[in-house]
Amino acid sequence: MYKHTCQLCGMEFESPSARAKYCIYCRDKAQVLRNKAYKEKKQAGEAVAIGSEQVCSLCGKTYTVTAGSQKYCKECQGKQARSKKISSNAQYAKANYKTLKLYVSAEERDAIKAYAESLGMSVNKLMLTALEEYHKNHESK
């Protein structure tokens, strides 16, 4: 379960989703606000109608809109998927960290995770701290 803070009321709540934004009490309110914003956008003429002709912002060709969130023609959509940028955090992690796999049983994993959480640490931080302590205690031996 992930802990979140509701973006509407500020109440803390738990959800199995890492992307939850609203508590169970505000989900319907948020949907009403999204519908209202879309209606206003549509009335202002800013919403793109499915079946309308648009100009691709990458290649400049005209294309027929087949989905509400479509931004590019079919050819450029494929190019966008292939050349998808990785976030700066992911780039930093890739450049500065390497993965170390540790195999444990499911019960051991759950126990380690619970112990780390009880100390206010991540499992990664717990393991690094344990290795530092081991190294400190076994240096002179």
State whether 133 and 92 are in the same domain. Answer: no
State whether 113 and 92 are in the same domain. Answer: no
The answer on pLDDT for 13 being more than 60 is yes
The answer on pLDDT for 82 being more than 60 is no
Query: Considering only 24-38, 46-60, 72-86, 122-136, which range has the smallest mean pLDDT?
Result: 72-86
- Our count of domains for the chain comes to 3
Residue in 126, 120, 121, 119 with CA at minimum distance from that of residue 104? 126
C-alpha gyration radius of the chain: 24
pLDDT of residue 116: 94
Domain that holds residue 72: 48-97
State whether 41 and 53 are in the same domain. Answer: no
Mean pLDDT of 107-134: 94
Q: For residue 121, with 0-12 CB atoms within 10 Å meaning exposed, 13-18 middle and 19 or more buried, which class applies?
A: middle
Q: Which of 28, 47, 66 is the last residue of a domain?
A: 47
Mean pLDDT of 50-77: 86
State whether 40 and 52 are in the same domain. Answer: no
State whether 89 and 126 are in the same domain. Answer: no
State whether 73 and 115 are in the same domain. Answer: no
Greater confidence (78 vs 132) lies with: 132
